[in-house]
Protein backbone atom coordinates (compact mmCIF):
# COMPACT_ATOMS: atom_id res chain seq x y z
CA UNK A 1 0.00 0.00 0.00
CA UNK A 2 1.24 3.47 -0.72
CA UNK A 3 2.72 5.22 2.25
CA UNK A 4 0.79 8.48 2.01
CA UNK A 5 1.12 9.75 5.54
CA UNK A 6 4.52 8.35 6.34
CA UNK A 7 3.82 7.40 9.90
CA UNK A 8 0.53 6.09 11.21
CA UNK A 9 -0.15 7.16 14.75
CA UNK A 10 -0.59 4.37 17.26
CA UNK A 11 -3.46 5.04 19.58
CA UNK A 12 -4.71 3.57 22.83
CA UNK A 13 -1.25 3.48 24.40
CA UNK A 14 -0.49 3.64 28.09
CA UNK A 15 2.68 5.32 29.28
CA UNK A 16 4.36 4.25 32.48
CA UNK A 17 7.09 6.50 33.75
CA UNK A 18 9.11 4.77 36.44
CA UNK A 19 12.13 5.67 38.43
CA UNK A 20 14.44 2.76 37.84
CA UNK A 21 15.25 -0.64 36.51
CA UNK A 22 13.57 -2.59 39.31
CA UNK A 23 10.19 -1.05 38.59
CA UNK A 24 10.34 -1.69 34.86
CA UNK A 25 12.06 -5.01 34.51
CA UNK A 26 11.09 -6.73 37.72
CA UNK A 27 7.75 -5.44 38.93
CA UNK A 28 5.92 -4.28 35.82
CA UNK A 29 7.28 -6.93 33.49
CA UNK A 30 5.91 -9.48 35.95
CA UNK A 31 2.57 -7.71 36.39
CA UNK A 32 2.09 -7.56 32.62
CA UNK A 33 2.72 -11.31 32.35
CA UNK A 34 0.27 -12.05 35.17
CA UNK A 35 -2.42 -9.71 33.83
CA UNK A 36 -2.35 -10.24 30.06
CA UNK A 37 -5.49 -8.07 29.85
CA UNK A 38 -3.28 -5.08 30.53
CA UNK A 39 -2.35 -4.00 27.09
CA UNK A 40 0.85 -2.04 27.66
CA UNK A 41 3.84 -2.25 25.42
CA UNK A 42 7.11 -2.61 27.34
CA UNK A 43 8.45 0.08 25.04
CA UNK A 44 6.01 2.44 26.65
CA UNK A 45 7.48 1.86 30.09
CA UNK A 46 10.07 4.57 30.38
CA UNK A 47 12.77 4.59 33.00
CA UNK A 48 13.22 8.16 34.12
CA UNK A 49 16.42 7.32 35.94
CA UNK A 50 16.44 9.93 38.67
CA UNK A 51 14.01 10.86 41.36
CA UNK A 52 10.85 12.90 41.56
CA UNK A 53 12.65 16.08 42.60
CA UNK A 54 14.68 16.05 39.39
CA UNK A 55 11.44 15.56 37.49
CA UNK A 56 10.03 18.54 39.37
CA UNK A 57 13.05 20.54 38.22
CA UNK A 58 12.52 19.47 34.59
CA UNK A 59 8.90 20.56 34.70
CA UNK A 60 9.79 23.95 36.18
CA UNK A 61 12.45 24.36 33.50
CA UNK A 62 9.84 23.86 30.77
CA UNK A 63 6.89 25.71 32.31
CA UNK A 64 8.44 28.03 34.97
CA UNK A 65 7.47 28.11 38.61
CA UNK A 66 3.78 28.64 37.91
CA UNK A 67 3.57 25.24 36.20
CA UNK A 68 0.66 24.03 38.28
CA UNK A 69 -1.51 26.54 36.39
CA UNK A 70 -0.29 25.17 33.07
CA UNK A 71 -1.35 22.19 31.01
CA UNK A 72 1.78 20.11 31.59
CA UNK A 73 2.69 17.68 28.84
CA UNK A 74 4.81 15.16 30.70
CA UNK A 75 5.57 12.81 27.79
CA UNK A 76 6.90 15.84 25.96
CA UNK A 77 9.04 17.05 28.87
CA UNK A 78 10.62 13.63 29.32
CA UNK A 79 10.94 12.54 25.72
CA UNK A 80 12.56 15.85 24.87
CA UNK A 81 15.20 15.20 27.50
CA UNK A 82 15.74 11.52 26.83
CA UNK A 83 16.90 10.76 23.33
CA UNK A 84 15.95 7.08 23.78
CA UNK A 85 12.34 7.95 22.94
CA UNK A 86 10.90 9.78 19.98
CA UNK A 87 9.36 13.06 21.06
CA UNK A 88 5.81 12.29 22.22
CA UNK A 89 2.82 14.29 23.33
CA UNK A 90 0.30 13.45 25.99
CA UNK A 91 -2.35 13.04 23.28
CA UNK A 92 -0.43 9.95 22.21
CA UNK A 93 -1.44 8.15 25.40
CA UNK A 94 -4.77 7.20 26.93
CA UNK A 95 -3.15 6.63 30.29
CA UNK A 96 -0.10 8.27 31.79
CA UNK A 97 1.12 6.78 35.02
CA UNK A 98 4.09 7.93 37.08
CA UNK A 99 5.66 5.74 39.72
CA UNK A 100 8.15 7.38 42.05
CA UNK A 101 9.62 6.84 45.49
CA UNK A 102 8.85 9.11 48.41
CA UNK A 103 12.58 9.70 48.90
CA UNK A 104 12.26 11.17 52.37
CA UNK A 105 16.02 10.79 52.78
CA UNK A 106 16.93 12.58 49.57
CA UNK A 107 18.84 15.84 50.13
CA UNK A 108 16.40 17.48 47.70
CA UNK A 109 13.33 16.25 49.58
CA UNK A 110 10.70 18.96 49.83
CA UNK A 111 7.28 18.26 51.27
CA UNK A 112 5.97 21.26 49.36
CA UNK A 113 7.27 20.10 45.97
CA UNK A 114 6.06 16.54 46.34
CA UNK A 115 2.67 17.88 47.48
CA UNK A 116 2.41 20.05 44.38
CA UNK A 117 3.26 17.05 42.23
CA UNK A 118 0.74 14.77 43.93
CA UNK A 119 -2.02 17.39 43.75
CA UNK A 120 -1.36 18.10 40.10
CA UNK A 121 -0.98 14.58 38.72
CA UNK A 122 -4.33 13.09 39.63
CA UNK A 123 -5.78 12.02 36.30
CA UNK A 124 -4.25 9.12 34.40
CA UNK A 125 -6.41 9.94 31.39
CA UNK A 126 -5.20 13.53 31.16
CA UNK A 127 -1.95 14.95 32.54
CA UNK A 128 -1.05 11.78 34.45
CA UNK A 129 -1.53 9.98 37.74
CA UNK A 130 1.31 9.96 40.24
CA UNK A 131 1.78 6.93 42.46
CA UNK A 132 4.24 7.43 45.30
CA UNK A 133 5.72 4.43 47.03
CA UNK A 134 6.45 4.76 50.72
CA UNK A 135 9.28 4.67 51.45
CA UNK A 136 10.29 3.13 48.11
CA UNK A 137 9.27 0.70 45.37
CA UNK A 138 10.44 -2.36 47.31
CA UNK A 139 7.53 -1.88 49.71
CA UNK A 140 5.36 -4.17 47.53
CA UNK A 141 7.51 -7.01 48.83
CA UNK A 142 7.15 -5.88 52.42
CA UNK A 143 4.49 -8.44 53.32
CA UNK A 144 5.73 -11.22 55.59
CA UNK A 145 3.06 -13.69 54.58
CA UNK A 146 -0.26 -13.77 52.74
CA UNK A 147 -2.42 -12.59 54.31
CA UNK A 148 -0.37 -10.39 56.61
CA UNK A 149 -2.43 -8.85 59.42
CA UNK A 150 0.57 -6.93 60.69
CA UNK A 151 0.79 -4.93 57.49
CA UNK A 152 -1.78 -2.56 58.98
CA UNK A 153 0.78 -1.29 61.48
CA UNK A 154 3.93 -1.65 59.41
CA UNK A 155 6.01 1.52 59.41
CA UNK A 156 9.65 2.42 59.39
CA UNK A 157 11.55 5.14 61.23
CA UNK A 158 12.68 8.10 59.14
CA UNK A 159 16.12 7.49 60.56
CA UNK A 160 16.32 4.23 58.59
CA UNK A 161 18.37 5.52 55.72
CA UNK A 162 19.83 5.44 53.14
CA UNK A 163 17.63 3.38 50.85
CA UNK A 164 19.85 0.33 50.95
CA UNK A 165 19.07 -0.16 54.63
CA UNK A 166 15.36 -0.32 53.86
CA UNK A 167 16.00 -2.77 51.03
CA UNK A 168 17.91 -4.97 53.48
CA UNK A 169 15.04 -4.78 55.96
CA UNK A 170 12.60 -5.93 53.28
CA UNK A 171 14.92 -8.77 52.32
CA UNK A 172 14.91 -9.91 55.93
CA UNK A 173 11.19 -9.72 56.47
CA UNK A 174 9.61 -10.45 53.08
CA UNK A 175 7.47 -13.43 52.29
CA UNK A 176 7.04 -12.30 48.68
CA UNK A 177 10.52 -11.80 47.27
CA UNK A 178 11.24 -15.45 46.54
CA UNK A 179 8.03 -15.64 44.52
CA UNK A 180 8.98 -12.59 42.51
CA UNK A 181 12.54 -13.80 42.03
CA UNK A 182 11.48 -17.23 40.84
CA UNK A 183 11.57 -16.63 37.06
CA UNK A 184 14.99 -15.01 37.37
CA UNK A 185 16.15 -17.93 39.45
CA UNK A 186 14.91 -20.43 36.84
CA UNK A 187 16.61 -18.48 34.10
CA UNK A 188 19.85 -18.27 36.00
CA UNK A 189 19.89 -21.99 36.79
CA UNK A 190 19.16 -23.00 33.21
CA UNK A 191 21.64 -20.64 31.74
CA UNK A 192 24.51 -20.45 34.16
CA UNK A 193 24.28 -23.50 36.36
CA UNK A 194 23.21 -26.10 33.81
CA UNK A 195 24.94 -24.39 30.95
CA UNK A 196 22.15 -24.13 28.36
CA UNK A 197 23.71 -21.62 26.03
CA UNK A 198 21.26 -21.77 23.13
CA UNK A 199 18.98 -18.82 23.83
CA UNK A 200 15.98 -20.34 22.10
CA UNK A 201 16.26 -23.67 23.91
CA UNK A 202 16.79 -21.91 27.22
CA UNK A 203 13.76 -19.70 26.63
CA UNK A 204 11.56 -22.70 25.80
CA UNK A 205 12.60 -24.58 28.93
CA UNK A 206 11.98 -21.47 31.02
CA UNK A 207 8.51 -20.91 29.58
CA UNK A 208 7.56 -24.57 29.91
CA UNK A 209 8.70 -24.83 33.53
CA UNK A 210 6.73 -21.75 34.52
CA UNK A 211 3.69 -23.07 32.72
CA UNK A 212 3.57 -26.40 34.54
CA UNK A 213 0.20 -26.53 36.24
CA UNK A 214 -0.38 -30.18 36.97
CA UNK A 215 0.89 -31.26 40.37
CA UNK A 216 0.56 -35.02 39.83
CA UNK A 217 3.70 -35.69 37.86
CA UNK A 218 5.78 -32.55 38.13
CA UNK A 219 9.01 -34.50 38.07
CA UNK A 220 8.15 -36.35 34.87
CA UNK A 221 7.08 -33.17 33.23
CA UNK A 222 10.27 -31.36 34.25
CA UNK A 223 12.36 -34.20 32.88
CA UNK A 224 10.41 -34.15 29.66
CA UNK A 225 11.04 -30.42 29.32
CA UNK A 226 14.75 -30.64 30.06
CA UNK A 227 15.72 -33.82 28.25
CA UNK A 228 16.44 -32.16 24.94
CA UNK A 229 18.53 -29.46 26.55
CA UNK A 230 20.48 -31.28 29.24
CA UNK A 231 22.01 -34.72 28.98
CA UNK A 232 23.55 -37.38 31.17
CA UNK A 233 23.70 -37.20 34.90
CA UNK A 234 23.10 -33.48 34.98
CA UNK A 235 19.59 -34.12 33.70
CA UNK A 236 18.74 -36.05 36.86
CA UNK A 237 20.22 -33.34 39.09
CA UNK A 238 18.42 -30.58 37.19
CA UNK A 239 15.12 -32.46 37.27
CA UNK A 240 15.35 -32.93 41.02
CA UNK A 241 16.36 -29.35 41.66
CA UNK A 242 13.58 -27.79 39.55
CA UNK A 243 10.98 -30.18 40.92
CA UNK A 244 12.00 -29.25 44.45
CA UNK A 245 11.84 -25.55 43.61
CA UNK A 246 8.37 -25.87 42.10
CA UNK A 247 7.20 -27.90 45.10
CA UNK A 248 8.54 -25.23 47.45
CA UNK A 249 6.73 -22.45 45.66
CA UNK A 250 3.67 -24.61 45.30
CA UNK A 251 2.02 -23.09 42.23
CA UNK A 252 1.55 -26.39 40.39
CA UNK A 253 0.26 -27.80 43.63
CA UNK A 254 -2.79 -25.55 43.27
CA UNK A 255 -3.22 -26.46 39.63
CA UNK A 256 -1.98 -23.05 38.50
CA UNK A 257 0.85 -22.03 36.26
CA UNK A 258 3.39 -19.75 37.88
CA UNK A 259 1.78 -16.74 36.18
CA UNK A 260 -1.72 -17.64 37.35
CA UNK A 261 -0.43 -18.18 40.86
CA UNK A 262 1.36 -14.82 40.87
CA UNK A 263 -1.76 -13.11 39.58
CA UNK A 264 -3.48 -14.16 42.81
CA UNK A 265 -0.47 -13.02 44.80
CA UNK A 266 -0.62 -9.61 43.16
CA UNK A 267 -4.34 -9.33 43.83
CA UNK A 268 -3.52 -9.94 47.49
CA UNK A 269 -0.74 -7.36 47.45
CA UNK A 270 -3.06 -4.80 45.88
CA UNK A 271 -5.87 -5.48 48.36
CA UNK A 272 -3.46 -5.25 51.30
CA UNK A 273 -2.32 -1.87 50.03
CA UNK A 274 -5.88 -0.63 49.49
CA UNK A 275 -6.60 -1.50 53.14
CA UNK A 276 -3.40 0.17 54.22
CA UNK A 277 -4.12 3.32 52.21
CA UNK A 278 -7.58 3.39 53.77
CA UNK A 279 -6.00 3.16 57.20
CA UNK A 280 -3.57 6.00 56.50
CA UNK A 281 -6.31 8.19 55.04
CA UNK A 282 -9.18 7.33 57.38
CA UNK A 283 -7.66 5.42 60.26
CA UNK A 284 -9.48 2.21 59.39
CA UNK A 285 -7.69 -0.80 57.93
CA UNK A 286 -10.67 -3.04 57.29
CA UNK A 287 -12.70 -2.13 54.23
CA UNK A 288 -16.39 -1.82 55.02
CA UNK A 289 -18.52 -4.67 53.62
CA UNK A 290 -15.54 -5.79 51.60
CA UNK A 291 -16.36 -3.09 49.07
CA UNK A 292 -12.82 -2.59 47.83
CA UNK A 293 -13.86 -0.90 44.63
CA UNK A 294 -15.69 1.89 46.41
CA UNK A 295 -12.91 2.19 48.96
CA UNK A 296 -10.37 2.46 46.14
CA UNK A 297 -12.47 5.12 44.42
CA UNK A 298 -12.47 7.18 47.59
CA UNK A 299 -8.73 7.07 48.14
CA UNK A 300 -7.06 10.43 47.92
CA UNK A 301 -3.35 10.26 47.23
CA UNK A 302 -2.86 13.85 48.44
CA UNK A 303 -4.47 13.09 51.80
CA UNK A 304 -2.22 10.09 52.20
CA UNK A 305 0.83 12.15 51.33
CA UNK A 306 -0.13 14.76 53.86
CA UNK A 307 -0.37 12.15 56.64
CA UNK A 308 2.99 10.76 55.62
CA UNK A 309 4.55 14.22 55.52
CA UNK A 310 3.25 14.96 59.02
CA UNK A 311 4.28 11.69 60.60
CA UNK A 312 7.74 11.81 59.05
CA UNK A 313 8.35 15.46 59.77
CA UNK A 314 10.75 14.85 62.63
CA UNK A 315 13.81 13.16 61.21
CA UNK A 316 14.78 11.67 64.59
CA UNK A 317 11.44 10.43 65.90
CA UNK A 318 9.25 10.42 62.80
CA UNK A 319 8.07 7.40 60.84
CA UNK A 320 6.78 6.49 57.42
CA UNK A 321 3.86 4.10 56.90
CA UNK A 322 4.87 1.32 54.53
CA UNK A 323 2.61 1.61 51.49
CA UNK A 324 3.00 0.67 47.86
CA UNK A 325 0.68 2.66 45.61
CA UNK A 326 2.32 1.71 42.29
CA UNK A 327 0.40 -1.58 42.27
CA UNK A 328 -2.78 0.51 42.26
CA UNK A 329 -2.31 1.13 38.59
CA UNK A 330 -3.78 -2.36 37.98
CA UNK A 331 -6.92 -1.36 39.87
CA UNK A 332 -7.02 1.99 38.08
CA UNK A 333 -6.58 0.29 34.70
CA UNK A 334 -9.58 -1.92 35.30
CA UNK A 335 -10.80 -2.78 38.76
CA UNK A 336 -12.38 -6.02 37.61
CA UNK A 337 -8.85 -7.43 37.20
CA UNK A 338 -8.61 -7.71 40.96
CA UNK A 339 -12.30 -7.92 41.79
Partner 1 sequence: MLKRFSLRNYKNFKDDISIDFDNIAGYQFSDDCITNGMISKMLIYGRNATGKTNLGRALMDIVYIVYGGLWRMDKGTFLNADSSEDVAVFSYTFQFDEYEVIYRYTRLANRDLRDEELIIEQKTIYQCDFQHGRYNFDNLQYVGAEIVSIERYMQSLLHDEEGTGETTEYQLPFFRWLISNVALKSDSMLLKLSDYVKRMNMVTVSQGIMRRPRQINDAFFESFEDLSALGEFEEFLNVMGIKCKLALRKLPDGQRELYFAYEKLVPFFENASSGTLALVELYRRFVVAGRGASLLYLDEFDAFYHYEMAENIIKFFKKNYPKCQIIMTTHNTNLMTNRLMRPDCLFILSTRGTLTALCNATLRELREGHNLEKMYISGEFEKYE
Distance CA 158, CA 128 (A): 28
Closer by beta carbon to partner 1, 87 or else 310: 87
Closer by beta carbon to partner 1, 19 or else 92: 92
Closer by beta carbon to partner 1, 91 or else 192: 91
310 binds partner 1 (CB under 8 A): no
96 three-state secondary structure: strand
Distance CA 337, CA 213 (A): 21
Closer by beta carbon to partner 1, 9 or else 216: 9
What Å distances lie between residue 71 and 59, 119, 126, CA to CA?
Answer: 11, 14, 9
- Counting residues that bind partner 1 (by CB under 8 A) gives 14
CB of 6 to partner 1, least distance (A): 19
Distance CA 21, CA 228 (A): 34
For CA atoms 220, 223, 225, 227, give the dihedral sign: negative
336 binds partner 1 (CB under 8 A): yes
87 binds partner 1 (CB under 8 A): no
| Candidate residues 1, 3, 4, 11; the one interacting with partner 1 per rule CB under 8 A | 11
Distance CA 128, CA 171 (A): 32
Which residue stretches of the chain are H helix?
21, 29-34, 52-63, 74-81, 111-120, 163-173, 177-188, 199-210, 218-226, 233-249, 258-282, 292-297, 301-311, 328-333
Pick the stretch among 7-15, 185-193, 251-259, 274-282 that binds partner 1 (CB under 8 A).
Answer: 7-15
| Residues 175-194, mask of contacts with partner 1 (x by CB under 8 A) | --------------------
| Candidate residues 12, 66, 107, 232; the one interacting with partner 1 per rule CB under 8 A | 12
CB of 120 to partner 1, least distance (A): 13
| Candidate residues 19, 92, 103, 138; the one interacting with partner 1 per rule CB under 8 A | 92
CB of 99 to partner 1, least distance (A): 19
Got the DSSP string for 280-316? HHHS--SPGGG-HHHHHHT--HHHHHHHHHHHT-STT
Pick the stretch among 5-13, 195-203, 231-239, 277-285 that binds partner 1 (CB under 8 A).
Answer: 5-13
| Candidate residues 42, 87, 94, 310; the one interacting with partner 1 per rule CB under 8 A | 94
Distance CA 279, CA 152 (A): 7
Pick the stretch among 121-129, 134-142, 179-187, 240-248 that binds partner 1 (CB under 8 A).
Answer: 121-129
CB of 70 to partner 1, least distance (A): 14
CB hemisphere CA count around 181 (13 angstroms) = 12
Distance CA 325, CA 6 (A): 40
Residue from 279, 265, 269, 267 nearest 152 by CA: 279
Pick the stretch among 50-58, 91-99, 222-230, 318-326 that binds partner 1 (CB under 8 A).
Answer: 91-99
Closer by beta carbon to partner 1, 7 or else 199: 7
CB of 97 to partner 1, least distance (A): 13
Closer by beta carbon to partner 1, 172 or else 336: 336
| Candidate residues 286, 298, 314, 334; the one interacting with partner 1 per rule CB under 8 A | 334
What residues between 122 and 151 interact with partner 1 by CB under 8 A?
Answer: 123, 125-126
Burial 298-333 (b: 16+ CB within 10 A, else e): ebebeebbbbbbebbeeeeebbbbbbbbbbbbbbbb
Q: Are 270 and 145 in contact (CB under 8 A)?
A: no
> Which residues here bind partner 1, judged by CB under 8 A?
11-13, 90-94, 123, 125-126, 297, 334, 336
Amino acid sequence: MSDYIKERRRRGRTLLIVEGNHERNKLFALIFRCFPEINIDMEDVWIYGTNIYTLYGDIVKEYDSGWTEDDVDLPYVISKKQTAHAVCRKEDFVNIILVFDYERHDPNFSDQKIKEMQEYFVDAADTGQLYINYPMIESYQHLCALPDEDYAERKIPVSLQPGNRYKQLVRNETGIAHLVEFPHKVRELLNEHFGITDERVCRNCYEDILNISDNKCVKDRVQEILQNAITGKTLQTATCQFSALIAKLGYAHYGDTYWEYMREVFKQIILHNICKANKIQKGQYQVENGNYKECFGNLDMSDILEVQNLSSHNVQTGFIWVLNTSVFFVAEYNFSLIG
